[in-house]
């Protein structure tokens, strides 16, 4: 199965799973208005699951730590993750509904998303720590903010004790608990999330450097069609432009970037090569509709990885 070979490094994703309920329309409705949509698509999502799938497609061994509900959506989610070669032994089934994400996508590919976490809130500190401790060949631990911060913080702390790097995608944007930030090596927000976290600052070079110094983390900010800004170790900001593509649906592009980036780190790429791997995978994803269904194939991902190595 794709991603089952841990020779390319092993990634633990501590994060969410969702069922995406996607409506495509020429425009979104105003308050109190109903519009007729063009089409509907149901798919698999959740920032954690998306990143796990992308990392697996690139070739990393991937384990997922999370929680799904005891409903049909939960069983469908486990089957989907397994189809990508992802180890679901630490995805726990808890009472209640699984997470869902109603998504609106406009004609230009812009999306608006509401997440309802559901069972994702059931991931505990003990579950997360157990997942980290169970993996002897662990290369990277990645988390987001769609599961309890305490669980991710505990996983990151355990990873730190083992000398394993950690990556936090702080999405959806929220105030970061000190324990979580202390355990984070890499922080990867998009430009909107960066502004929320940095008190309204725009991602110019001075603000990026200041925030990286404030958090004590490596900082990498995704800028949509403008590419990526990386604060390097010596405090210089490098900006890498995005490939020019015709966007169809930007849903999941950030997750494609993060999943490919951490897979690149796990495979031993330097940070700039891992960044370019993430950008290429994300850029290709926006040219197709859907979330995980928009990601490049495993074969294509291996081609991209080889080109970035």
CA distances from 13 to 9, 23, 51 (A): 13, 28, 8
Polymer length of the chain: 309
Q: Rounded to an integer, what distance in angstroms lies between the CA atom of residue 31 and that of residue 29?
A: 7
Beta-strand (E) ranges in 71-213?
87-94, 100-105, 111-113, 138-143, 166-168, 186-187
Contact, 277 vs 305, CB < 8 A?
yes
Low-confidence ranges of the chain (pLDDT < 70): 1-7
Q: Rounded to an integer, what distance in angstroms lies between the CA atom of residue 3 and that of residue 63?
A: 10
| Structural domains of the chain ordered from first start | 6-25+39-308 (3.40.1190.20)
Beta bridge partners of residue 220, listed in sequence order? 230
Residue 257 in tokens:
């970037």
H or E element, residue 61: strand 61-69
pTM across the whole model:
0.91
User: In 263-274, which positions are buried (b, 16+ CB within 10 angstroms) versus exposed (e)?
Assistant: bbbbbebebebb
What's residue 3's pLDDT?
37
What's residue 252's pLDDT?
86
What's residue 8's pLDDT?
72
Q: Which of 87, 185, 249, 255 is catalytic?
A: 255
Is residue 255 part of the annotated active site? The answer reads yes
């Amino acid at each position: 199965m794709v991603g089952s070979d841990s020779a390319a490094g092993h990634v633990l994703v501590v994060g969410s799973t969702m069922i995406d309920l996607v409506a495509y329309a020429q425009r979104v409705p105003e308050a109190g208005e109903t519009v007729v949509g063009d089409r509907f698509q149901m798919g698999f999502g959740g920032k954690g699951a998306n990143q796990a799938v992308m990392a697996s497609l690139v070739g990393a061994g991937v384990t997922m730590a999370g929680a799904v509900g005891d409903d049909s959506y939960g069983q469908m989610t486990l089957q989907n993750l397994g189809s990508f070669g992802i180890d679901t032994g630490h995805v726990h089934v808890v009472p209640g509904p699984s997470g869902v994400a109603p998504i609106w996508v406009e004609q230009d590919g812009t999306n608006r998303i509401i997440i309802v976490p559901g069972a994702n809130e059931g991931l505990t500190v003990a579950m997360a720590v157990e997942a980290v401790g169970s993996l002897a060949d662990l290369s990277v631990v990645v988390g987001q903010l769609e599961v309890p911060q305490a669980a991710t913080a505990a996983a990151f702390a355990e990873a730190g004790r083992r000398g394993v790097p950690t990556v936090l995608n702080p999405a959806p944007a929220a105030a970061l608990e000190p324990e979580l930030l202390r355990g984070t090596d890499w922080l990867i927000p998009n430009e909107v999330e960066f502004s929320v976290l940095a008190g309204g600052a725009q991602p110019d070079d001075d603000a990026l450097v200041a925030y990286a110094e404030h958090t004590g983390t490596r900082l990498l900010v995704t800028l949509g069609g403008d590419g990526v800004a990386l604060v390097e170790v010596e405090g210089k900001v490098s900006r890498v432009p995005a490939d020019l593509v015709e966007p169809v649906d930007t849903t999941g592009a950030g997750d494609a970037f993060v999943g490919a980036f951490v897979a690149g780190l796990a495979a031993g790429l330097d940070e700039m090569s891992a960044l370019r791997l993430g950008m290429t995978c994300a850029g290709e994803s926006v040219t197709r509709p859907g979330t995980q269904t928009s990601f490049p194939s495993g074969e294509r991902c291996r081609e991209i990885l080889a080109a970035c190595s």
